[in-house]
């Protein structure tokens, strides 16, 4: 399980500080999974991270529950759960696809021209997952803006543009929306949903 937190520093400073960074202390917290034991520190793991101008491995603090033996990781909010690309990078890709109307191939050529290694399949997956998650993201945005002041379009591409503009608006930031979305319903911009029938 992962929790997302605001580190109050940028990714470069977070990386520089390494183990000296003041990670969230969850040792007095009940396990969010079994609700029986209090979490204990359980070391670190590193994860690869790619942003617009920064590529490295980041340390992630891990805690463990002494009762159920499951772990909880503290993920800084510029990381996207289970993705190597940063949230700002992913949202820049989505803005390019939905606002500029560029094809996946043209975007891929542009990214490779700037030294980013990416696949067309990954860009396609980012676009399709975001479209599938528009409802969840819109519901979270309703908590920030007044729903009566904003009516979402029905067509996916128009709705995606609206959601992206709200994510980058004066009342929110991409990283804050990401953190609130994950805290509120456990989803992220690109979470794959497994619906039960």
Domain boundaries, the chain: 2-76, 87-185
Per-residue model confidence as pLDDT tens digits over 37-91: 899 999 999 999 988 778 899 999 999 999 999 999 998 988 888 888 888 888 8
> Structure pTM?
0.75
Which pLDDT score is estimated for 149? Answer: 55
Task: Copy the structure tokens of residue 13.
Answer: 């400073």
Is the confidence at residue 29, as pLDDT, over 60? yes
Band of residue 147 on the pLDDT scale cut at 50, 70, 90: low
CB 164 within 8 A of CB 99: yes
| Close Cβ partners of 120 (under 8 Å, ≥ 6 residues apart) | 104, 105, 108
The mean-pLDDT minimum among 79-93, 98-112, 150-164, 165-179 falls in 165-179
Per-residue model confidence as pLDDT tens digits over 85-113: 888 888 888 888 888 777 788 888 888 77
């Amino acid at each position: 399980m992962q929790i997302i937190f605001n580190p109050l520093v940028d990714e470069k400073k977070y990386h520089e500080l390494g183990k000296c960074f003041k990670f969230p202390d969850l040792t007095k917290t009940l396990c969010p999974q079994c609700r029986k034991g209090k979490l204990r520190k359980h070391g670190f793991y590193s994860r690869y991270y790619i942003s617009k101008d920064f590529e490295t491995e980041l340390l992630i603090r891990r805690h463990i529950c002494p009762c159920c033996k499951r772990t909880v990781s503290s993920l800084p909010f510029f990381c996207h759960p289970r993705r190597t690309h940063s949230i700002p990078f992913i949202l820049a890709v989505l803005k390019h696809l939905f606002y500029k109307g560029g094809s996946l191939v043209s975007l891929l050529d542009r990214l490779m021209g700037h030294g980013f290694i990416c696949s067309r399949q990954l860009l396609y997956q980012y676009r399709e997952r975001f479209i599938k998650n528009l409802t969840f993201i819109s519901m979270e945005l309703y908590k920030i803006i007044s729903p009566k002041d904003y009516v979402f379009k029905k067509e996916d591409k128009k709705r995606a543009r609206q959601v992206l503009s709200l994510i980058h608006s004066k009342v929110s930031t991409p990283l804050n929306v990401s953190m609130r979305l994950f805290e509120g319903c456990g989803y992220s911009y690109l979470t794959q949903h497994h619906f039960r029938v």
